[in-house]
Each structure stands twice: as structure tokens, then as C-alpha cells.
Amino acid sequence: MTFRFDDGTAAREWLAMLDKIGMPHPEPLVEDARPSGVKRNGPELAAWLDTHPGWHKVSDAANRSAAMKAAYKINKRERRGFENGGYEARVVLKDSGWLVEARRTPAPKRKGLSTEGMNPLW
């Protein structure tokens, strides 16, 4: 038998209710919210961020301090896989807790060359 819960809080409440009535816990089957093929850290994560524009969740943090340290390591090129730079990270507080989001830094837009106002050299 399979039970589905919208969030972790509802699942924990259900397990607490099972404890109160003395029933054994079923073995949990947790589906990862992260798309398949996404690496959690290292060079694979950096390569994945290169191919997927925009902000993406990189990690959950236990508290604000841990989230700030993780974002700092990405921004300062200290985290493995992010040494070449070109990435930025931010800390976000969501209902589920502190998150670290990262993205590939967008390339600056180049101004096109204009020949307007130029005189020939000869």
C-alpha cells in the first residue's frame, strides 16, 4: 500500500500518529523533487547549470549561517566544480527552510560595432 503526502510535515504527523497507537512504521519511499540526472555537487552540478539557464536550487541548509557559507563558497570560487567562476549564488528563505540557489552568470550584452561617424584613414 502506498501513501502520498503533499509535504514532509504531513508525513511526519502521520508517523507520529502511528507511534501513538503503537503500529509499526512502513518503510518510507521518498521521491526526490530534483529532476533525474541532476548531480548534487561538484563539476557535474556546474556543468548542469551551464546547460539550464536561470536560478536553480543547489542545496538545503540547516540554518542561515550554513546557507550563507555555501553561497559564499560558490561566489568566491572555493566550491569544487565552480573554480572557473561565472556562477553566482544567493540564499533564499522558503517555507521548507533556507535554500541556496545558483545560476550561471549571464554573459554581458555586447554593443554592436557602428561605423557611423567614422572617417576613412586615407
Note the pLDDT tens digit of each residue in 22-48.
888 777 666 545 444 455 678 888 888
* Residue closest to 73 by CA, chosen among 95, 54, 58: 58
Q: What does the pLDDT read at residue 102?
A: 92
pTM of the model: 0.56
C-alpha cell at 111: 554593443
pLDDT at 65 over 90: yes
